[in-house]
Structure 1
Amino acid sequence: MKVRTFTSAALLALACCVCFGGYVARTRANAPGGTLYALRDAQENIAYARVIRLEHSGSRNGVLLSTFERWNNDESPGSFLIQQSRDDGQTWSALGTASDGERGPGHPWPIMWQPFLFELPQALGRYPAGTLLLAGNVGSRGAKDTHFQLWRSADHGAHWDYVSTFQTGGSVNPGRGIWEPFLGLDRQGRLVCYFSDERQFATHSQILAHLVSDDGGDTWGPEVADVASDRQADRPGMATVARLSDGSYLMSYEVCGPPGCEVHVKRSPDGDRWGESPFDLGARPETPDGRYLIGSPYLVRTPGPNREGRLMLAAHSASLTKGGGAPESGQIVLLNSRSGRGAWSWMPAPSRPLYSPSGNANTVYSPCLLPSRDGKSIRLTVPSGGAPLGRESTQAGPTDLLPYRDDFAAGTDAGWIDYGGEWSLSGAAYGSAGAAKAVAGSTGWADYKLDADIKLLSPGQAGLLFRVTDPGAGPDDVHGYAARLSSVGGALTLGEEDRDWKPFASVTLPEGVRIGVWYHITVRASGDSLDASVQRAGERAAEVKVKARDASSPFGAIGLSSWDAQASWRNVKVTK
C-alpha cells in the first residue's frame, strides 16, 4: 500500500517541557531516540527505514547497515543512501549509494521507495554467503510507473551493481502499482520476494503475492498469490515474514478497508504455501487487555524464553477492541512466545516517534525492528520529528527477557511509557509530579520480584505497580496491584488498582515515611500470593512487610506511580 496520509490523532505530539522542583519535565515518557539520518533540506522526504546486522561477512560481522525511502519534491534524480554503524547503532556514517539502474528516456527516475536489505545466509547460485541484495521500488516522475529493481554488493555495502528490473507496475492513481518488496529464503533455501500488487484492480484492489528465484536473484519464477480478499475494496499489503523454530513461517501484513488497516498474521509450512486459499485473511493478533495494531507492521523472531523464541510485532499505531485508539498508540511492540498462536502480550517500544511538523518525515510509517543477537534488546527505527525538517530515529531498548534492570544512569527513559503527570530524568533517578504513572516491561510477565528505590519529594503517596494491564491516564486507571508508600500516616499499603483503589493490607513504619529519604521497596507476586516490604535504602534495618492473596491479576507489566506527590525512583530491577 502506498499511502502517506494519517490522521493527526494517530500521530504523537511533540514533547512539552515545564520546570518543577529542580527537574526539567516532559509530559510524555519514552525516549525520542537517536538520529540515524536528518533531512538536509525542505525538498527531501524520507520514510520506511530498514536496518540489518551483518552475520555472514567475516570480519565485518556485527556492523549495522541501514537505508530508507528517499525522494525530492522537485523530482530530481534520487538514490538509496546506505549507511553503516560500527558501534551497534550509536553513530552512523555514509557507506554507499544505489541509484536507478535503468537507461533510456526519462531516466534516472526520482522516486526511491520501499527499500529492503538482505544478506545471503548461504550461497545462492553463483553468489557466496555474505553477498548483499537491495530491492527497491523505483518510481517515475509523477509516480506514473513503479518498478522493482535489484542491486547486489560484493563488498559489504560500499558499492552496488544493478542486477535487473524484475517486476513492473503502473501508477499510484488509479491503483496499478506494485509495492513493498520483502526478501527472504523459503524452506528449500530459495530466494523469495513477497510484495503487494494492485495490477488485478478490477477484482482485487490489492493482493499479497510472491516470486521465487533459484539462482540468487538473477531470474524469477511466476507470481503466486498469498493473501487476497473476496471484497474488491480490501487491500492486504506490507508483508513481513519471520521463520519459526520448527521451520514454518509467519507473515504479518495490514488489511486495509473497513474498518481500517488492521494487522493480521498468516502461517505457512514452507514460506511458499500460505493456507488452503489466498482468500484466508489470517488472524488479528490481540492482547488480553484489548490492544491490536494498525498499519504498516514489521515482524521479527528473536531468541526468547523457550525453544520457540519470541515473535515481536510493531506497527504504525494501536487500537482498543472496545473502541478508539490505544493510549500508547505508536509506542508498543506485541510479543508472542508460542509461534504466533494464542494471545499476545505487549511491551513499550524503545522510543516514541515525534510528529514531524514539516511533513517531510512520514512519522512511524513502516517501523523497522532489529533484535540483538542474544534477544535481550530490540532496536526500533522509524521516521520521526526531532530535527528541524525530520529524521530517521533509531533507539535500542530492553526486551521482556528477565532479569530486567533500569538504573537510569544512561540518561534515557527508553522502554517506559507514561500515562499522565510530568516525568523527568535527573542524574540516575526518574522523577514525577502530580498524578503520574509510567509503565515498563511486558504485560505477559506472571510471577516475579520487583525491586526499586523511591523517595518522596513532597507530602503524599507514591509507589510501585505490578502485574499491570490496560493502563490509562487517570490516577487509578489501570488493572493490577500497587504497593503505596505514604508520608501521611507513614505506611506501606498493598492493594488492587482496577479503576479504583482497593487496599488489601497496610503496615506502619516505626519512624514513619520521611520526605527526601530514599526507601527500598520489594514486591513479590507468585500465583495468588502477593507481598511487599520496605526499608531505608542502603541500611540494614529490618524490613517492614505486608502480605495479601488475590488472583484477579495473574500477569502484567511493572510501573512507577505517584498519586498526589512529587517523587523519584532509581535502581529498578525485575527478577524471576
Structure 2
Amino acid sequence: MFGGRGFSTGLVLATTILCAYSAPALEIRAVADHAVTFQTIYVPPATYNTPKTLYARTVQLADGTLLATWENYSPEPPMVYFPIYRSTDKGETWTSFSTVQDQVNGWGLRYQPSLYLLPQTIGNLTKGTILCAGNSIPTDLSQTKIDLYASQDSGATWSFVSSIASGGAADPSNGQTPVWEPFLMVYDNQLVAYYSDQRDPAHGQKLVHQVSSDGITWGAIVDDVAYPTYSQRPGMTTIAPLPNGQWIVTYEYGGGPNPRNAGYPIYYRISPSPLTFNNATGVLLNANGTIPSSSPYVVWSPSGGVNGTIAVSANSHSQIFVNTKLGDASSWVIYSTPQAAAYSRHLRVMDDPDYLLIMGGGPLGGDNSVTDSVMKLPNL
C-alpha cells in the first residue's frame, strides 16, 4: 500500500506460458487489435467522493471481450461496489454491464479489485470462470477483508466464493494490521492469491501468498518479500512469466533505499517459481538513472524479439519501462505511451501481443475518471 494514500527456453515455451497466464492465444477475432488513444470509459457523477475512481483492472474472455472494473467512490449508503464495464471492440468503446456487490459483510467492496480468468478448472470453478478478488471494508475503514467472487456467465452475475484474508483498519501506517492489494494466478494446478500483509508484528508490511485447490479453503501464509527492517514496506504484488521458465514480480519498496528521491522505488525479483520469490534478490528498476516510483504493474509479451518484452508501469510516469533482455538490470528503457499516469495503472497484453492495453482510474486525490489506451509495443 502506497503510504501517501491517506484515505484509506524458447518461443514454444514462451507461447505456452503466455496462453496459460497473461493473454489468450492469437486468434482471428471479429475486431482486430488496434490503437486506442486515451479513451474515456467512465466519468463519475459530481456527487462521488474524492478521488471518485481509482485502481482500474481488466480481464479478457475467450471470445476477445474485455471486462473492466475499478474502485468506485460512490456516496454511501448504499454500499460501495465494483462496477463491471464491457468492451467488444478491443478497448475502443465500453458499456456498463454488471456490478460486483458485497454479499456477506454488509460493508461494500471498496478497494483494490483484481480480475482473473481461470485457465483451468479449480474445484467447482470451471475453466473460463471469471474471478474478482477485492477488499471489503466498512465505511469507517475499521476492518479489511479480501473476498473472492466468481462469475460463470461471462461477468453478468457474481457469487461469493470465499474469504482469503482478514485484517484490521484500512490504515497504511506501520503498526496497523490491514491486508491489501490481491493479485490472482493459477500455478501448479492451484489458485494462488498474493497480497500485502501488515499483520505480522515483525514487519510493517510484507508481501505474501496463500494457495487453494478449490478457491474455498486457503493454505498457510507464505512470505514472498519480507525485509528484516520493520519499517521497510514492500507492497503491491504483480507477477508475469518469462520465456526462459523464470517469473518476475514487481513491487514498490516503501522505506527502502531511496535513490534520486523516489518515494516508493520500484524493485523486482526473478525466480524459477512464483512461489519462491522470498529466496530471490531484489533489484532496483533503473532506466539509465530514472527510478520509477509507486504502484507498479508488470506484464510480459512475446513481442519484441527472442526474449519478448517485459513492460512495467508505475504511478510516477506516464511512460512504461521496457526490458527485452529477460530483466537484465542494465537494460531498462523508458518508452512513451498515450495514456496518462495513474495510481496502480493496469497493463494487459492483447491477443495480438504487439499491442498493449493501459488502463487508469486516475491519481491519488484527483477528480478522476477511468480511461484506457491501446498501443503497439516497441521492437527494441
Q: Which residue in the other structure is 1:267 paired with?
A: 270
* Distance in 2 (alpha carbons) for counterparts of 1:338 and 1:94: 40
Structure 1 match to 2:194: 194
Q: Distance in 1 between matches of 2:354 and 2:68?
A: 21
Residue 95 of structure 1 corresponds to 97
CA 1:2–1:264 in 2, change beyond 3 Å: closer, same or farther?
closer
Compute the displacement of 1:336 (Å): 1.0
User: What residue identity is the alignment partner of 1:42?
Assistant: T
2:69 matched to which residue of 1? 67
Pick the aligned partner of 1:52 from 59, 75, 92. 59
Q: Select the residue among 369, 372, 378 that pairs with 1:391.
A: 369
Q: Are 1:183 and 2:184 an aligned pair?
A: yes
Which residue of 1 is the match for residue 10 of structure 2? none
Q: 1:163 to 1:2 in 2, by over 3 A?
A: farther
Q: Which amino acid aligns with 1:337?
A: T
Residues 10-38 of structure 1 deviation map (CA, whole Å, 9 limit, x = unaligned): xxxxxxxxxxxxxxxxxxxxx97111111
Does the 8 Å CA contact 2:191/2:212 hold for their aligned counterparts? yes
Change (3 A) 1:95 1:196: same
Report the secondary structure of 2:270's partner residue. Answer: strand
Query: In 1, Cα distance between the equivalents of 2:83 and 2:94?
Result: 12
Match of 2:14 in 1: none
1:143 partner SS: coil
The reply to whether residue 373 of structure 1 matches residue 351 of structure 2 is: yes
- Three-state SS of the structure 1 residue aligned to 2:140 is helix
Superposition deviation, residue 379 in structure 1: 1.5
1:295 is matched with 294
Determine the C-alpha separation between the residues in 1 that align with 2:165 and 2:126. 24
Q: Secondary structure at the match of 1:35?
A: strand
**Are the equivalent residues in 1 in contact too, given 2:54–2:368 (CA < 8 A)?**
no
**Structure 1 gap ranges (5+):** 7-30, 56-60, 318-329, 354-363, 402-444, 446-576
Matched residue type, 2:273: D
Q: Which residue of 2 aligns with 1:33?
A: 38
| Partners of 2:93 and 2:318 in 1: CA distance | 23
In 1, are the aligned partners of 2:242 and 2:248 still within 8 Å (CA)?
yes
In the alignment, which residue of structure 1 is the partner of 2:237?
Answer: 239
Output the amino acid matched with 1:269.
P
- Indicate if the aligned counterparts of 1:192 and 1:213 stay in contact, CA closer than 8 A: yes
Q: Give the TM-score taking structure 2 as reference length.
A: 0.84
1:446-481 C-alpha deviation (Å, 9 max, x unpaired): xxxxxxxxxxxxxxxxxxxxxxxxxxxxxxxxxxxx
- Partner Cα distance (1:309, 1:101) in 2: 42
Secondary structure at the aligned position of 2:73 is classed as strand
CA contact (8 A) 2:2 2:235 kept: no
Partner Cα separation in structure 2 for residue 162 and residue 5 of structure 1: 28
Q: 2:378 aligns with which of 384, 391, 400?
A: 400
Hey, what's the Cα distance between the residues in 1 that align with 2:192 and 2:231? 27
Aligned runs of 1:123-162 on 2, under 5 Å? Answer: 123-162=121-160
Shift of the 181–152 alpha-carbon distance from structure 1 to 2, 3 Å rule, reads same
Partners of 2:377 and 2:164 in 1: CA distance: 38
Match of residue 350, structure 1, among 307, 328, 338: 338
Work out the CA distance in 2 between the residues paired with 1:65 and 1:285. Answer: 30
The aligned residue for residue 255 of structure 1 is 253
State the 1:306 CA deviation.
2.8
Shift of 1:298: 0.3
Query: Helix, strand or coil for the counterpart of 1:294?
Result: coil
RCO higher in structure (CA 8 A, sep ≥6): 2
The amino acid that maps onto 2:289 is G
Which of residues 298, 320, 324 is equivalent to 1:333? 320
Q: Which amino acid aligns with 2:169?
A: S
| Secondary structure, counterpart of 1:172 in structure 2 | coil
Q: Which runs of 5+ in 2 are unaligned?
A: 7-35
Q: Is the 8 A contact 1:238 1:253 kept in 2?
A: yes
Three-state SS of the structure 2 residue aligned to 1:291 is coil
The answer (yes or no) to whether the contact 1:37–1:392 under 8 Å persists in 2 is yes
In the TM superposition, what whole-angstrom CA distance separates every residue of 1:135-159 from its partner, at most 9, and x where no partner exists? 0001012110000111111111000
Secondary structure, aligned partner of 1:334: strand
Would you say the 8 A contact 2:304–2:377 is kept in 1? no
- 1:246 CA drift (Å): 2.7
Quote the offset at 1:76 in angstroms.
3.8
AA matched with 1:350: P
Give, as a single letter, the amino acid of the residue that structure 2 aligns with 1:276: N
Give the partner amino acid of 1:54.
Answer: L
Higher Cα radius of gyration: 1
